[in-house]
Amino acid sequence: MQKLTIIKIGGNVIDNSENLHHFLQDFTALEGPKILIHGGGKIATETSAAMGIEAKMIDGRRITDIDTLRVVTMVYAGLINKNMVAQLQAKGNNAIGLTGADGNIIKAKKRPVKAIDYGFVGDLEESSVSSTMLDSLLKAGLTPVLCAITHDGDTQLLNTNADTIASAVAVAMSSVYETHLVYCFEKKGVLKDVNDDATVVREIRASEFEGLKADGTVAGGMIPKLHNAFEAINKGVAAVYIGKADELGEIEKRNFGTKLLR
């Protein structure tokens, strides 16, 4: 199988033009076919405020009412997505910016109302991602750049977590490619000492996960990140990396962040 690299970047890269420029250079330099997935929550929050729309969050999750949906669609699918596509074109990477509605690539279901009404938020199922359409774009020599906007197949756009999209796309594409999923965030990877960047754990296998939770090496917000990563691996993804965006250029040298394996 041919290797496919799927990279998810967060706001700490998108919010800083210099960091984004260097990241996109490293992304372009990666060998083989690749897919880029992004959110952009901070810019969406700032844009909402400028338009007089209050951003509503519960436990770090955005409540997407109709006004907020309009803003995140403009920001994610428009401002951020097209800016990144333009920069990638300038670097010689023939990118195409997409929402889940384009080519019916990602179809979601509106999250049901339980204790909290999250509004127009989309949840994904195993059949949500069209690997056929993404594969056709890759075979045409294009680099898909997916934002965090999906659709329900019945005219409704939905706001979907970008980490969830990255995992779902990686799992779907693993039937066609040897899929490697990379989460870029603010830390160098999983750290033995959260205050010391020199203590990166370079490899973690699924059998070691419980032990690392028990001894406190993996704690807090890193637990759900790794849980989701191993879920993806169990569903066919070859490897998941977690590391710092400005070190992406080191991934081919096996010196990037933490690599999670079966």
Q: Measured between alpha carbons, how far is 150 from 123 in angstroms, rounded to an integer?
A: 9
CATH number at residue 194: 3.40.1160.10
What are the φ and ψ backbone dihedral angles of 82, each rounded to 5 degrees?
-70, -30
Q: What pLDDT was estimated at residue 3?
A: 97
Residues paired with residue 38 on neighbouring β-strands, in sequence order: 9
Q: What pLDDT was estimated at residue 194?
A: 81
Kindly tell me if the per-residue pLDDT of 120 is higher than 80.
yes
> Within 13 Å, how many C-alpha atoms sit on residue 78's CB side?
10
Q: How confident is the model at residue 173 (pLDDT cuts 50, 70, 90)?
A: very high
Q: What pLDDT was estimated at residue 225?
A: 81
Kindly tell me if the per-residue pLDDT of 101 is higher than 90.
yes
Where is pLDDT greater, at 55 or 119? 119
What are the φ and ψ backbone dihedral angles of 179, each rounded to 5 degrees?
-95, 125
**pLDDT tens digits for 43-84?**
998 999 999 998 888 877 889 999 999 999 999 999 999 999
Kindly tell me if the per-residue pLDDT of 234 is higher than 90.
yes
- Indicate the pTM of the whole model: 0.94
Q: How many domains are there within the chain? A: 1
Average pLDDT over residues 97-123: 96
**pLDDT tens digits for 235-260?**
999 999 999 999 999 998 878 999 99
Kindly tell me if the per-residue pLDDT of 11 is higher than 80.
no
Q: How far is CA 37 from CA 13, 99, 110, 165, 169, in A?
A: 12, 10, 20, 8, 9
Q: Measured between alpha carbons, how far is 25 from 152 in angstroms, rounded to an integer?
A: 34
Q: Measured between alpha carbons, how far is 238 from 159 in angstroms, rounded to an integer?
A: 28
Kindly tell me if the per-residue pLDDT of 33 is higher than 80.
yes
Q: What is the dihedral of CA 219, 36, 186, 234, to 10 degrees?
A: 20
Alpha carbon distance, N-terminus to C-terminus of the chain: 18
Average pLDDT over residues 168-179: 97
Binding-site residues for substrate sit at 40-41, 62, 159
Q: Tell me which residue range forms the domain holding 81.
A: 3-261
Question: Quick one: CA dihedral 250, 207, 10, 195, positive or negative?
Answer: negative
Binding-site residues sit at 40-41, 62, 159
Q: What pLDDT was estimated at residue 220?
A: 79
Kindly tell me if the per-residue pLDDT of 19 is higher than 80.
yes
Q: Note whether 258 and 243 are within 8 A (CB).
A: yes
